[in-house]
Amino acid sequence: NAGVTQTPKFQVLKTGQSMTLQCAQDMNHNSMYWYRQDPGMGLRLIYYSASEGTTDKGEVPNGYNVSRLNKREFSLRLESAAPSQTSVYFCASSEGLTSGIVYEQYFGPGTRLTVT
Partner 1 sequence: LAKTTQPISMDSYEGQEVNITCSHNNIATNDYITWYQQFPSQGPRFIIQGYKTKVTNEVASLFIPADRKSSTLSLPRVSLSDTAVYYCLVGINTGGFKTIFGAGTRLFVKA
Q: Rule CB under 8 A: which residues touch partner 1?
A: 4, 33, 35, 40-45, 48, 50, 56-59, 90, 92, 97-102, 104-110
CB of 22 to partner 1, least distance (A): 15
Q: For partner 1, which is the closer residue by CB, 85 or 93?
A: 93
Please choose, from the candidates 66, 99, 89, 67, the residue with its C-alpha nearest in 3D space to the C-alpha of residue 7. Answer: 89
CA atoms within 13 A on the CB side of 78: 26
Strand-strand pairing, 106-107 and 87-94 = antiparallel
Q: For partner 1, which is the closer residue by CB, 13 or 110?
A: 110
